[in-house]
Chain A
Amino acid sequence: DAKTTQPPSMDCAEGRAANLPCNHSTISGNEYVYWYRQIHSQGPQYIIHGLKNNETNEMASLIITEDRKSSTLILPHATLRDTAVYYCIVRAPNTNAGKSTFGDGTTLTVKP
């Protein structure tokens, strides 16, 4: 699986959009980009994933650059409850299929 690089921390004002970047310059053509978050020692929670196209669900939007070397997770209207560690992961289907690596993630702090 490709390695990812995320900033260690970010702040965001409540009600504003939070844009969390992730670099995955060595991503392969069949690797998906996944985002999870972990709120204060709770179990990580899946947010969204994508391959090439931008994706949106009720929680967030995922923007993947055309060359797929980076992506951005967007929380459109951040709330205090969005304060968490956000993990960006890339995974390929059926390649070391069982192994799963979470990096250090980005600690997002949403401030009033």
Chain B
Amino acid sequence: EAQVTQNPRYLITVTGKKLTVTCSQNMNHEYMSWYRQDPGLGLRQIYYSMNVEVTDKGDVPEGYKVSRKEKRNFPLILESPSPNQTSLYFCASSFGTSGYETQYFGPGTRLLVL
């Protein structure tokens, strides 16, 4: 089954404790992206990747890191989480960014930083 998976789905952590949220897709998509969603602010893009070893900032990259060492994986790293990073996070992938593509989203990761 074609899908985007994220782990963990729920996470409670404390300020400053490094964490990684994994994202994996099995569709051989070139493009992957991370979003956060907060009440009243909609979906905001954090980082995206056009292909392996190619990443770039979205609209809200501060406090986050990403890497794309393999085509299927695109982990989101919070090196020193803070309470303002409490949010619902979504990973997405698409075959390309030609304008013909559609994005497939993962189920989301709900993060609480205390």
Interface readout for A44-55 with B: 1 if CB under 8 Å, 0 if not?
111001000000
27 contacting pairs across A/B (C-beta < 8 A): A41-B88, A41-B108, A43-B90, A43-B92, A43-B107, A44-B43, A44-B90, A44-B103, A44-B105, A49-B102, A91-B99, A92-B99, A93-B99, A94-B98, A98-B31, A98-B48, A98-B50, A98-B97, A99-B45, A99-B48, A99-B58, A100-B48, A100-B92, A101-B45, A102-B42, A103-B42, A105-B42
Number of contact residues on A: which range applies?
Answer: 20 to 34
Shortest distance between the CB of B11 and any CB in chain A (Å): 15
Which has the most chain A C-beta neighbours within 10 Å: B43, B92, B105? B43
| B31: chain A residues within 8 A (beta carbon) | 98
Contacts of B53 in A (CB 8 A): none
B25 part of interface (Cβ distance < 8 Å): no
Interface residues of B (CB under 8 A from A): 4, 31, 33, 35, 37, 42-43, 45, 48-50, 56, 58-59, 88, 90, 92, 97-100, 102-108
Chain A interface (Cβ within 8 Å of chain B)? 30-32, 34, 36, 41-46, 49, 87, 91-94, 97-105
